[in-house]
Structure 1
């Protein structure tokens, strides 16, 4: 019998497909006169799925009195969508808005107190979602992807050219209605991959291990066409339009989402807060860095969106 806190499987519609999500409700259940809990909407980063360690964060928030809606994007994980593992920035942003709308509709939560939480590539989505939805009450962007040009510079020129050729080939395959041309999400330095920083592949492997997943259970390739979008994607620019409190959890040793760009964008958020960690991009999900970041995020949440308690 599992000792994991209870959660339920739910689905919501985004576009023509249904996204799968886990719904966590506070344990123990709040007293009837305490009011419904705030809800934290959560999703993963580049090519990531909710099974990659997001439960660890959701369970901590749940234990502190928050509901959590943790979802997979269309085309990924347990969600619908063809072709599989299609990484579309536009569709993922649509999924975020659909998830927030669904969270607001849930009778078990306080739909007026929705928080968005994103990590890595989804950290950028959390910033743009909060900027576009004035009713979001708080946001957390963890080791966030904020500047595609800065991230693209972490890949060697030769690898960039090879990824670009794969992207053009994938677009041609799409026009000819052929199967996608795929590229690895993470690889060794110099390999053709969307991320090939020295710690990228080992970081993914550690995430899999911490999530009790094998490499065979985690698709490590996506249609290459997204490689042409990423360098032009700069969600950090939306930080200046985020009116709610927003926490930027920044890793000083981040080799995937360079911290200098994130700090520059975070400084423009009217109610932004920045906490920095002596950690790499993938370190923050486990061990002492995880304990530090989740504690800081809970302090931020309880300050700005405290769970209601019975009078």
Structure 2
């Protein structure tokens, strides 16, 4: 089995486990009539935990991202510790069917559920499943943890759980412009040529942009995660902004009955620490961790403390 090592600025200096500690292969899930593809990481027999029938961590990418953006280094560490990991692309992104790069929270949640169902069909994997998500993907992981009985635990890293609140933090003017662009884009899809402008917006932009991710220094940090060999484009249909504004899973948190790790960054402007703490308080079996990190440093300069807490959580959940 072979793996391609993603080359991106944010993670190129991380301490990666030796290749002998894990193996990888492609795995495909059926996602609403199309195919979602990703990479399954399997622990080798010399990993620090038994490799027989390992629990599997299902990992969806950040908002607007591909599964090669930041997740491979995390999946490698899980596999080196004796867990399997499956990082997959949403429909329209990366190796999955389609290339429109539409951000569709409802569709992405369905893809998560399909990925959970798929790993349960793989021989030699254990029956235990962990849903994992960072940023907006944390909302999908918590949603599937509440919906799917097969999920035994969930990890929400720097979570963004309420899309409307996320956009409103920019201020009324930027919020109104973002939603307006989304409405124009959605109408333009229904009536081609009927309304000009607003057909595509950047995924990562500067604070003044009508972008999905728009905050000081966010554009550079986001683009540093992009795999240099990726065909990803920094754009999404403008209607994605309207879909984001309508997405909110906070009312489901009290019904997430499995152990949940919630990791917050004290300097995170996209997922403010007070909002993350309130969300963690609503989880019946939540473990809340606050790190001196921002939204993106958990992939780079604060990677080691962040992954350390994640591995400790898995050890606690699956301790005999």
TM-score (norm 2): 0.87
Q: Structure 2: how far apart are the matches of 1:277 and 1:291?
A: 11
Q: Structure 2: how far apart are the matches of 1:116 and 1:47?
A: 19
Q: Which residue of 1 aligns with 2:9?
A: none
Q: Structure 2: how far apart are the matches of 1:204 and 1:231?
A: 20
SS in 2 for 1:172: helix
1:185 is displaced (CA, Å) by 1.2
User: Which runs of structure 2 are paired with 1:212-223 in the superposition (5 Å)?
Assistant: 213=228, 217-223=231-237
1:278 is displaced (CA, Å) by 0.9
Q: Which residue of 1 aligns with 2:8?
A: none
Q: Is the 8 A contact 2:44 2:51 kept in 1?
A: no
Q: Is the 8 A contact 2:45 2:51 kept in 1?
A: no
Q: Is the 8 A contact 2:265 2:295 kept in 1?
A: yes
1:170 is displaced (CA, Å) by 1.4
RMSD: 2.3
SS in 2 for 1:117: strand
Q: CA offsets per residue over residues 10-48 of structure 1, 9 Å max, x none?
A: 211111110011011112368xx9741111100111101
Equivalent residue pairs, number: 299
Q: Which residue of 1 aligns with 2:261?
A: 247
| Structure number with higher helix proportion | 1
Consecutive unaligned residues in structure 1, runs of 5 or more: none
Consecutive unaligned residues in structure 2, runs of 5 or more: 6-17
- Indicate how the Cα distance of structure 1 residues 187 and 156 shifts in structure 2: closer, same or farther if over 3 A, else same: farther
SS in 1 for 2:203: strand
Q: Is the 8 A contact 1:131 1:243 kept in 2?
A: yes
Report which stretch shifted further, 183-192 or 226-235: 226-235
SS in 1 for 2:43: coil
Residue 230 (1) aligns with residue 244 (2) = yes
Q: Which residue of 1 aligns with 2:37?
A: 20
Report which stretch shifted further, 42-51 or 145-154: 145-154
Q: Structure 2: how far apart are the matches of 1:19 and 1:284?
A: 26
- Indicate how the Cα distance of structure 1 residues 293 and 167 shifts in structure 2: closer, same or farther if over 3 A, else same: same
Q: Structure 2: how far apart are the matches of 1:132 and 1:67?
A: 22
Q: Structure 1: how far apart are the matches of 2:161 and 2:140?
A: 9
Q: CA offsets per residue over residues 171-218 of structure 1, 9 Å max, x none?
A: 12221357981111121111121221102112113323xx5x27x743
Q: Structure 2: how far apart are the matches of 1:235 and 1:305?
A: 26
Q: Which residue of 1 aligns with 2:128?
A: 113
